[in-house]
């Protein structure tokens, strides 16, 4: 499944869309992400970055979520063409 089009969420530009494949990394952050709907199979859209370039804003489960790029780096997303 982990084809070429699977990328870390933190690397995606605004407007990119995809589906969450898995979350690696630290326990506390992952727990929180899962609770807030960033689960495998969930659709995410990158909405943009904060004016200083970090954190980023995504849309998931129909609402807006912000997270730091180092937190987004542990979320792998398969891109939609």
Partner 1 sequence: METGTKTTETTAKAKSEKIIALAGNPNSGKTSIFNDLTGSHQQVGNWPGVTVEKKEGKLTYQGEFLKVVDLPGTYSLGGYTEDELIARNFILFDQPSVIINVVDSANLERNLYLTVQLLEMGANIVVALNMVDEAKAQKIEINKSRLTELLGVPVVPTVATRNEGVKELVAATVSRAKELPPKPLVVNYGQEIEEELLKLEELIKLNPNLNANYSSRWLAVKLLEGDERLRDEMQKCQADRVLVQTGKSIHHLINILGEELEAIIAERRYGFISGLLKEVVSRRSTLEERLTVSDKIDQVVTNRFLGLPLFLLAMWAVFQFTFKLGDPLIGWVEAVFEGLGGLVTGWLGVLGASEMLVSFVVDGIIGGVGSVLVFIPPIFLLFLALSFLEDSGYMARAAYIMDRFMHFLGLHGKSFLPLLIGFGCNVPAIMATRTLESRQDRLVTILINPLMSCAARLPVYVLFAGAFFTANQGWVIFSLYLLGIVLAIMIGKLFKTFIFKGGISTFVMELPPYRLPTLKSIFIHMWQRGSSFIRKAGTIILGVVVLVWLFSNLPPGVEYASQESIIGKIGSVLAPLFTPAGFGNWEAAAALIFGILAKEVVVGTLGVLYGMDEAGLSQAIAQHWTPLSAYAFMVMTLIYIPCVAAIGAIRRETNSWGWTVFAIAYSLVLGWVMAVLVFQGGRLLGLG
Contact flag: residue 65 with partner 1 (CB under 8 A): yes
- How far apart are alpha carbons 36 and 4 in whole angstroms? 27
CB-based contacts of 2: which residues, under 8 Å, 6+ apart?
A: 21, 76
28 binding partner 1? (CB under 8 A): yes
Minimum CB distance to partner 1 smaller for 71 or for 77: 71
CA separation for the pair 60, 39 (Å, rounded) = 10
Minimum distance, C-beta of residue 25 to partner 1, in the bound complex (Å): 11
Residues near partner 1 (CB under 8 A) are 22-23, 26-37, 39-42, 48-55, 57, 61-68, 71
């Amino acid at each position: 499944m982990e084809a070429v089009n699977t990328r870390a969420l933190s690397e995606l530009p605004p407007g990119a869309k995809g589906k969450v494949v898995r979350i690696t990394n630290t326990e506390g952050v992952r727990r929180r992400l899962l609770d807030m709907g960033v689960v495998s199979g969930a659709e995410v859209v990158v909405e943009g970055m904060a004016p200083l370039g970090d954190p980023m804003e995504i849309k998931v489960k129909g609402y807006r979520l912000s997270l730091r790029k180092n937190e987004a780096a542990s979320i792998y997303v398969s891109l939609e063409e």
